[in-house]
Structure 1
């Protein structure tokens, strides 16, 4: 039976009768359960003594109507009824006094008088019986009740208060967003002062957080359709990017906890976390790009040397200061020092959030071949297509895909196949197609668990599509033009990048690398996958001239490796390209190509692709542990350096003097040749 219909007010007030609309009156679609049907226990009220033995207290939702110390429940119910009736008739004197009863409970005021703690619970009982009367005109009273300090009181008060929240939300659907929003307010972190109210035993932060979810769980079970209202609230109240690491971690942990009792929000919650993480990622990378490389390296090194922080919520339980309330030194008051501190805080925040996300996703992939793993990976792929891929400056968020895609061969195929599909769909914007090609190349080149067979299939797939693009456009092509043929150049650059990292997988000779001498294979005639050499020759020597438009460091590295392996000799073409001005062939500035924006449109570099490969070395020092075994570092080619010294071509020597190591130009940290 609904809590709001159980009131038995004393004469002369008329008794309230249950009506059908009482529990169905809601602005949300869906059903509303009775309080009895919510079946909520008190597991969340206290920390269990051990994982195997949990304290369980049954929650009887019926209002307890016994005479307690001081005035009885019946007397206070009569007072509450008079106050509400008088307010609706224009006499708000008693109503304002009633509001003050709850307003004075904020920050623990006025709770030391003899019956203060008991009376506030009686008022909650009384209001629970009259929730049907708390319409829009009583919103001030409702807000006063919702704002009072309730988390740190005893369990009997907590149960009464949570029942009030459920009854209010059931009887007055317009208050559902407000009730949920007040609960979500605690997600960035509960203040310890909330658990240290006068007249009550201290309550730990862990227990306070459990009580928040106790209330949230009760409301959502009572009104299942309320989850549709909760989702946008979770989005709206997510901490801003410049808020503290502590606030972000706490909020995300609470979001994940909501999934336990509202699984229908799982997709929305993980999508929200990914969206906000990408924004922090972009800001962090922008900040790092704005400071000197040496300073950025020092920041990362400093974070990596910090001792593990343990549970972020248990650190300094007695402190009420937030991370950004700490006193700074005189040096940090200087603008430069302050800027560096901000950058370091952002890097730490990003690192901590990603470390948390890896740990949250990991259990879903404990059995990579399970339905649970496949479902979660589909969700990750959805986030990739809608959130990560369109964000050009995302630097680390995508490593969630990189790591979990390599858990099983079918997941590798799924991610690679998605990138191929996105890269070659004609109806997609050119910039997304080019980004997809970059993701595909970077994943195949860098993924330690990407099998040689996958490398060959991807190389052949890209090559076949390139051949078609070349055939369709070569006759009308005047010369290299990034605006007109941006996708063609992005695909070509993807092939060059894959070749530089995975050329060993494109060789079909089975015994090439069996000799103990790492340079022995150079004396052999290498057998390459059929057709790839001919395909690359047609592409590279076409009128579209991709080696002039692709990123110079990648072109230089490809030329060096291809020549060393006797795969292809392109130095004469590179020399000819030095005399070509790309600006004379450009059909416009707004090229939509995957590259940085800025001024200087007449510079040659403006008409060339950036060396953008999303899985370049992972920088974040703490969360880096998740991807270290998944990653192919840059490896030098045996004998390549010695051969360079013996080269007789003057043109080639000039070209090599200008070359910059591929890895140093496409990554933000250093890797040493093995």
Structure 2
């Protein structure tokens, strides 16, 4: 069997050290102590990584050279009451007796190494030596140094002892202890490779710790969060350097240890912060880390939206009040606060416990989304300092991959996609990259129809709402979508008997996308206007002979008046707004078609189980309600309302601009019937806006 020294020395050949001042051993030899003991003959530069590198990971720029790492050569002195040799004898005896089935000493050793054992001595000893309390407090260091010599014996039969050591709360002690503990972990993994996952797991599970009480140790000074994280990542970085195979193990662990969706906001934020820190010194894991964060963020996003949609107005008002109260308090997160302190900002008086729980859960989900997205915007922002650089394009390529594989398939995602909305507008090259990705997905025949429709919605929403998307790109995208719309119409009309959303959904999604773009970007689709039109006064465009870009009118006319009859199937809100604008701009007059569509029953053209209507009658469906046979007005870049992180996108967003006088004539009568609010509905047609009180 290989010794701990030989295995660890071999594993550390690739570890480099800084050539700096002469190194000092972790446990310095005391020149005045006659009881000093030496565990072997330590080489002069035995612990380059631990001594040269500070806990915050700073490194010397000087040239580095390879060194051997030999844990059997550690100079020590009596930190505690007993020497290393005495403790080694105690450990050897406990292990020998354990091998014979006698566990009394072994159990005491487990308790000691867990960090919970209290060393008891006579009061006279303390009176004679006032330094004894400090020595007793530090004696666990001696145990760890001594135990390093026995790591080859810490196999399966000593798994209980290993578990006890790994349960030791080492982060909350002093810095010297943290270094010794890190060194012991390296020795353990070197001698017992099967312990690698166990060791890494004990580190990663601390990623979600956020309060000093999570790592506090009695009789030790409080360790601030920043220092605790530095120690945690110092140990992890050190192990990753010595054991390259640890990276593949770590990939699985960071996923399995990720907090559950209903865990506290504090745990989620701490975990994400630690993942982002891990990303800085482990480039091989960068993509895996970002994929993990984005995927979990989307899950929170989707669940949050579903929870809000299930709430009535009273509960959503309570959520809004709770959020405002939290913002008024500055979102302060005192270290010693309990998770339940949020109760102060959610009025539960007169409410049932389950209502309070629903409100609290929704509030925490929104805050999780908000803080994590704000951290991601902060992370990516410097990488796009030059949005035309190769670096920016490479990073955006990673974002596009996450968008295609994680965000796009989740149709209820409401906020996560704004990462790509913000950074995708920083240059024309980035705009083109995102639009190209959406077009490829929307028109690849092997893609599932639901993804094709989602890609069309993302493209339309991006072009319509992106304040920095140039006008000529808007025209180009409109023409490209129009070309594909004509292709679909030609394909579908041969078998079409009438409007049917189930059979021709891709066509209707694309038609709805074009109408949506027209409603928001109609000015960019204009080639020229009469001289009396003032571009800053939108009302002057009304009832004018406008010259539109080539093919724009023909594209819309060919497809609107086709057998597929898209105005019957597309979202009524968008259809009505398009009809109104198209009429007042003398673009197209579709009101006669809308009137005739009122006499068209979609059920007569539907295919599938419910085409006869029998199943719907059995389920108590209203046969006069055709909304289930029409498209939803799904456009994923609806107004962004998360209170903290919205600062990143406020200048990116093209708000709906009402046109004075637009509804003054033909829609006055409709307004009395409750249809006049469509402008506002088009602008604020999101669960978050309606349910959380909009922009105020």
- Which bin holds the TM-score, normalised by the shorter protein? 0.7 to 0.9
CA contact (8 A) 1:500 1:561 kept: yes
Structure 1 residue 60, shift from structure 2 partner = 10
- Distance in 1 of aligned mates of 2:329 and 2:245: 39
Structure 1 residue 453, shift from structure 2 partner = 0.8
Structure 1 residue 613, shift from structure 2 partner = 0.5
**Alignment match, 2:370:** 351
Aligned: 1:539 with 2:559? yes
**Alignment match, 2:473:** 454
Give the 5 Å matches for 1:303-314: 303-304=323-324, 306-307=326-327
CA contact (8 A) 1:419 1:440 kept: yes
**Alignment match, 1:626:** 648
- Distance in 1 of aligned mates of 2:560 and 2:675: 21
**Alignment match, 1:443:** 462
CA contact (8 A) 2:516 2:574 kept: yes
Residues 590 and 498 of structure 1: is their aligned pair in 2 closer, same or farther, counting only changes over 3 Å? farther
Give the 5 Å matches for 1:318-467: 319=336, 321-323=338-340, 331=350, 334-467=353-486
Greater shift, 337-346 or 271-280, is seen at 337-346
Structure 1 residue 375, shift from structure 2 partner = 1.9
Q: TM-score, normalised by structure 2?
A: 0.83
Equivalent in 90, 108, 121 of residue 97 of structure 1: 108
Residues 190 and 442 of structure 1: is their aligned pair in 2 closer, same or farther, counting only changes over 3 Å? closer
Aligned: 1:189 with 2:196? no
1:628 counterpart SS class: coil
Greater shift, 488-497 or 518-527, is seen at 518-527
Residues 333-352 of structure 1: per-residue CA shift (max 9 Å, x gap): 54334422332222222222
Residues 556 and 23 of structure 1: is their aligned pair in 2 closer, same or farther, counting only changes over 3 Å? same
1:611 counterpart SS class: coil
CA contact (8 A) 2:80 2:136 kept: no
Give the 5 Å matches for 1:60-459: 63-103=74-114, 105-106=115-116, 109-110=118-119, 114=133, 115-193=135-213, 196-293=216-313, 295-296=315-316, 299-300=319-320, 302-304=322-324, 306-307=326-327, 315-317=333-335, 319=336, 321-323=338-340, 331=350, 334-459=353-478
Structure 1 residue 149, shift from structure 2 partner = 2.0
Residues 20 and 599 of structure 1: is their aligned pair in 2 closer, same or farther, counting only changes over 3 Å? farther
Cα RMSD (Å): 3.4
Residues 655 and 609 of structure 1: is their aligned pair in 2 closer, same or farther, counting only changes over 3 Å? farther
- Distance in 1 of aligned mates of 2:519 and 2:221: 66
Residues 324-375 of structure 1: per-residue CA shift (max 9 Å, x gap): 6968865465433442233222222222222222222212112212233222
Residues 110 and 453 of structure 1: is their aligned pair in 2 closer, same or farther, counting only changes over 3 Å? farther
CA contact (8 A) 2:4 2:151 kept: no
CA contact (8 A) 1:549 1:609 kept: yes
Structure 1 residue 67, shift from structure 2 partner = 4.4
**Alignment match, 2:586:** 566
Equivalent in 481, 503, 507 of residue 484 of structure 1: 503
1:508 counterpart SS class: strand
Q: TM-score, normalised by structure 1?
A: 0.85
Aligned: 1:505 with 2:505? no
1:64 counterpart SS class: strand
Residues 42-98 of structure 1: per-residue CA shift (max 9 Å, x gap): 7654899xxxxxxxxxx9975233345532212222322333344334443432221
- Distance in 1 of aligned mates of 2:535 and 2:428: 29
CA contact (8 A) 1:195 1:202 kept: no
Residues 304 and 362 of structure 1: is their aligned pair in 2 closer, same or farther, counting only changes over 3 Å? farther
Residues 396 and 482 of structure 1: is their aligned pair in 2 closer, same or farther, counting only changes over 3 Å? same
Structure 1 residue 201, shift from structure 2 partner = 3.3
Residues 392-412 of structure 1: per-residue CA shift (max 9 Å, x gap): 111111111111111111111
Alignment coverage as a number of residue pairs: 630
CA contact (8 A) 1:351 1:620 kept: yes
**Alignment match, 2:487:** 468
CA contact (8 A) 2:452 2:506 kept: yes
**Alignment match, 1:664:** 681
CA contact (8 A) 1:480 1:543 kept: yes
Structure 1 residue 124, shift from structure 2 partner = 0.3
CA contact (8 A) 2:530 2:544 kept: no
CA contact (8 A) 1:600 1:606 kept: no
- Distance in 1 of aligned mates of 2:229 and 2:478: 52
Residues 239-265 of structure 1: per-residue CA shift (max 9 Å, x gap): 111111111111111111111221211
**Structure 1 stretches lacking a partner, 5+ long:** 6-15, 26-30, 49-58, 592-597, 647-651
1:630 counterpart SS class: coil
Structure 1 residue 130, shift from structure 2 partner = 1.9
- Distance in 2 of aligned mates of 1:538 and 1:191: 64
1:482 counterpart SS class: coil
Residues 194 and 299 of structure 1: is their aligned pair in 2 closer, same or farther, counting only changes over 3 Å? closer
- Distance in 1 of aligned mates of 2:481 and 2:379: 35
2:284 counterpart SS class: helix
Residues 285-317 of structure 1: per-residue CA shift (max 9 Å, x gap): 1111112346535633652464476686xx433
**Alignment match, 1:55:** none
CA contact (8 A) 1:195 1:204 kept: no
- Distance in 2 of aligned mates of 1:672 and 1:303: 13
- Distance in 1 of aligned mates of 2:178 and 2:356: 47
- Distance in 2 of aligned mates of 1:357 and 1:33: 32
- Distance in 2 of aligned mates of 1:340 and 1:69: 53
Residues 504 and 191 of structure 1: is their aligned pair in 2 closer, same or farther, counting only changes over 3 Å? closer
- Distance in 1 of aligned mates of 2:508 and 2:83: 82
- Distance in 1 of aligned mates of 2:307 and 2:603: 32
Residues 38 and 277 of structure 1: is their aligned pair in 2 closer, same or farther, counting only changes over 3 Å? farther
Residues 522 and 46 of structure 1: is their aligned pair in 2 closer, same or farther, counting only changes over 3 Å? closer
Structure 1 residue 485, shift from structure 2 partner = 0.8
- Distance in 2 of aligned mates of 1:22 and 1:516: 75
Aligned: 1:588 with 2:608? yes
1:80 counterpart SS class: helix
**Alignment match, 1:609:** 631
CA contact (8 A) 2:251 2:288 kept: yes
**Structure 2 stretches lacking a partner, 5+ long:** 18-45, 59-68, 122-131, 612-618
Residues 350 and 20 of structure 1: is their aligned pair in 2 closer, same or farther, counting only changes over 3 Å? closer
Residues 172-194 of structure 1: per-residue CA shift (max 9 Å, x gap): 22111111111112111244236
- Distance in 2 of aligned mates of 1:654 and 1:206: 58
**Alignment match, 1:56:** none
Greater shift, 537-546 or 117-126, is seen at 117-126
